[in-house]
Amino acid sequence: MIHARHPRPARRLPPYHEDVADQMGEERDFNQRNIDEFRANGGKVGGQFEGFPLLLLTSTGAKSGEQRINPIAYFDIDGAIYVVGSAAGRDRDPAWAFNIRAHPDAVVEIGSDPPRPVTARELPREERDRLYPRIVEQAPGFGDYE
């Protein structure tokens, strides 16, 4: 015998959840505008990123397996490219960091150069601690994220 209950009527999410969904949509729109501007201007982007080195990272979604593109500040130190998974100081790592941990093979676009494949790796603590002061020298705001 199967017992069926009448389904509850649909209800709206509490305002907090609607705000989070709105913020996620706004963040996607913000990223897409920066991606479009980057590609239209040979890697140059205005606004809050103006004059700052930016790359586009194409990674594979950790759960979805879909391609994800993110504009990310980068640092060229001794000929190697470094990115910082700071999520602008949030308590949680950015989604792209989870993606490259799960799928380290990615693609980067820098300036007007053609996209190139890379294999990402998370730095061991000792190497990170040695390099991070050099990142903060180039971008002092990153010092607030430690």
In a domain, 60, yes or no: yes
In a domain, 37, yes or no: no
pLDDT at 23: 59
> Longest Cα pair distance anywhere in the chain, in angstroms?
71
In a domain, 88, yes or no: yes
pLDDT at 24: 61
In a domain, 25, yes or no: no
In a domain, 11, yes or no: no
Q: Percent helix, strand, coil in the chain (nearest 5)?
A: 40, 20, 35
In a domain, 120, yes or no: yes
How many structural domains are present in the chain?
Answer: 1
In a domain, 34, yes or no: no
Counting beta carbons within 10 angstroms of the beta carbon of residue 97, is it exposed (0 to 12), middle (13 to 18) or buried (19 or more)?
buried
99: containing domain:
52-145
pTM of the model: 0.79
CATH number at residue 115: 2.30.110.10
pLDDT at 142: 80
Q: Which residues contact 19 (CB under 8 A, 6 or more apart)?
A: none
- Hey, is 100 helix, strand or coil? helix
> What gap in Å lies between CA 122 and CA 67, rounded to an integer?
20
The residue with greater pLDDT, 22 or 41, is: 41
Task: Please state the rounded mean pLDDT for residues 48-53.
Answer: 86
In a domain, 23, yes or no: no
Which residue in the block uniquely carries the two structure tokens 């792209």? 96
